[in-house]
Amino acid sequence: MLDEVRTPRLVIAGTASNVGKTILTAGLIAAFKVRGLTVQSFKVGPDYIDAAYLAHVSGRPCRNLDSWMLGEGALRQVLAQGVLGADLALVEGMLGLFDGRGGSTDGSTADVARIIKAPVVLVIDVGDMTESAAAVALGFKSYTESPKIAGVLLNNVRSDAHRRRAEDAIWGMAKLPVLGALRAMPQLDIPQRERGLLPVTENKEWDRMIGVLSETIDRDVDLDLLLRIANKAELVPLVPKKLFQGKPDAGRTVRLAVAYDDAFNFYYPENLELLEEHGAQIVPFSPLEDEHLPQDAAGVYLGGGFPEMFVEPLAKNHAMAESIQRASRSGVPIYAECGGLMYLGRSLRTDAGTTHRMAGVIPVDVEMDGQIHRFGYRQLLTLEDSILSPRGQFYRGHEFHWSRITGHNGGLKPAYQMQNAEGDVIGYEGFVAPNLLASYVHLHFGQNPLLVDKFVQHCREHTAIRTPS
């Protein structure tokens, strides 16, 4: 493992959401790859969907840099783990550059840029402005907590003349170079659905779009200058205590069944890597297509995703539901987050009003009703010993879900007392049993390796089950 990070890097930040950060970052990754560079992508914050788009383009797992969940030390370790073997790191920001937790810059893109000592390239949507773009650029450059803004990328320019006017104004007032300008290309917008961006696994046009975008960026963006700026990134020292040891645990390896298909694919790469380092052999399986859990699975990990979009095939796969029920009854440790929790319930009622049977491990019913029920960072106090943690521990996580639990017959204890990011208690969350932990909240295991230690330990203590072959 590295003692410091030297890899050239850039943060692609925006003045706000929806200014084109994801498309531009993806296009830059593709264009630099054409030039023969190995590019590692990162995403500021907890988002899985943007990260999946960037991973698809780069061919490497995209890693989330979330300073609120991880803290500075672990975040730098995630950076170091990601850049191994890479020539360039490109970091897509979230929201606007300075937008963080609770009206502060805590956890913002600017905060992450400071921690990883990376130059910032600011994306400005100039579709409806020219001279005003200079005021925007100057305001961001002059803001009290501004990181080093090295230049500007213009999006949605209408003509060459429009670009020249905006570029001259930005240089004249803010003394920031315009590093590139993209015309409005609505045909390259990532499709939206009611609940956000269409996931990359469902976007059949993405590869074609990236080919066009790569050519456009190679023509309209000064890639050589961007690379020179990236090479000016300062060295990032790492804390002596390493998050990643670079070698597997010497103890007995256990097979951990991890749900991975179109319905379940929300995992931070470090969660799986840390599990492997601590002795888990990751064995993917599909609740959509497989009939049973992998043979000799000593634990089950059901991540988030969109089970509601695949509710019919999930409901029809009775054999998988029964396999998971048998595993639960036999004491196999099962950890589930968000979509995984929904799947483990008795039933899932869709927006259309149809109810479908789910795995039936947890005595709850889940309903989609077209509303966001919870969204934001969470602080969690564990109320009971669980397969991930002893009681009395604090962890940080994130939740974003459109479903709610409508029926609960009891029998399971709440897993957490939950607080918002400001520390206000907002209720109880999740369910815990001797071999089960299920919650709407997504956890990044990098914040505390104890989570991994405990999970693998519980898997080791359980006698591996054998399922039909």
pLDDT tens-digit readout, 113-169:
999 999 999 999 999 999 999 999 999 999 988 899 999 999 999 999 999 999 999
Do 23 and 157 lie in one domain? The reply is yes
Determine the pLDDT at residue 306. Answer: 94
* Residue 65 is assigned to a structural domain of this protein: yes
Do 330 and 232 lie in one domain? The reply is no
Do 174 and 271 lie in one domain? The reply is no
Determine the pLDDT at residue 195. Answer: 66
Do 62 and 108 lie in one domain? The reply is yes
Catalytic residues: 338
What the block records as the tokens of 163 is 């670009």
Determine the pLDDT at residue 248. Answer: 64
Determine the pLDDT at residue 374. Answer: 80
173, 204, 237: which is the final residue of a domain? 237
Tokens 């993209």 locate to: 182
Determine the pLDDT at residue 469. Answer: 40
Residue 35 in 3-state DSSP? coil
* Residue 146 is assigned to a structural domain of this protein: yes
* Residue 68 is assigned to a structural domain of this protein: yes
Q: Which domain holds residue 294?
A: 254-461
For residue 52, is it left (φ>0), alpha (ψ between -120 and 50) or beta?
alpha
* Residue 467 is assigned to a structural domain of this protein: no
* Residue 443 is assigned to a structural domain of this protein: yes
Determine the pLDDT at residue 194. Answer: 65
CATH number of the domain bearing residue 279: 3.40.50.880
Determine the pLDDT at residue 466. Answer: 46
Do 228 and 273 lie in one domain? The reply is no
* Residue 220 is assigned to a structural domain of this protein: yes
CB-based contact 380:399 (threshold 8 Å): no
Q: Backbone phi, then psi, for 457, in 5-degree steps?
A: -60, -45
Determine the pLDDT at residue 462. Answer: 86
Do 337 and 401 lie in one domain? The reply is yes
pLDDT < 50 positions in the chain? 464-469
* 20-79 pLDDT per residue, tens: 999 999 999 999 999 999 999 999 999 999 999 999 999 999 999 999 999 999 999 999
- Report DSSP state, residue 361: S
Total number of domains in the chain: 2
209, 237, 265: which is the final residue of a domain? 237
Do 273 and 413 lie in one domain? The reply is yes
Determine the pLDDT at residue 412. Answer: 86
* Residue 285 is assigned to a structural domain of this protein: yes
CB-based contact 100:140 (threshold 8 Å): no
Do 288 and 407 lie in one domain? The reply is yes
Give the whole-angstrom CA distance, residue 42 versus residue 62: 5
CB-based contact 285:258 (threshold 8 Å): yes
pTM tops 0.85, yes or no: yes
* Residue 246 is assigned to a structural domain of this protein: no
Do 275 and 418 lie in one domain? The reply is yes
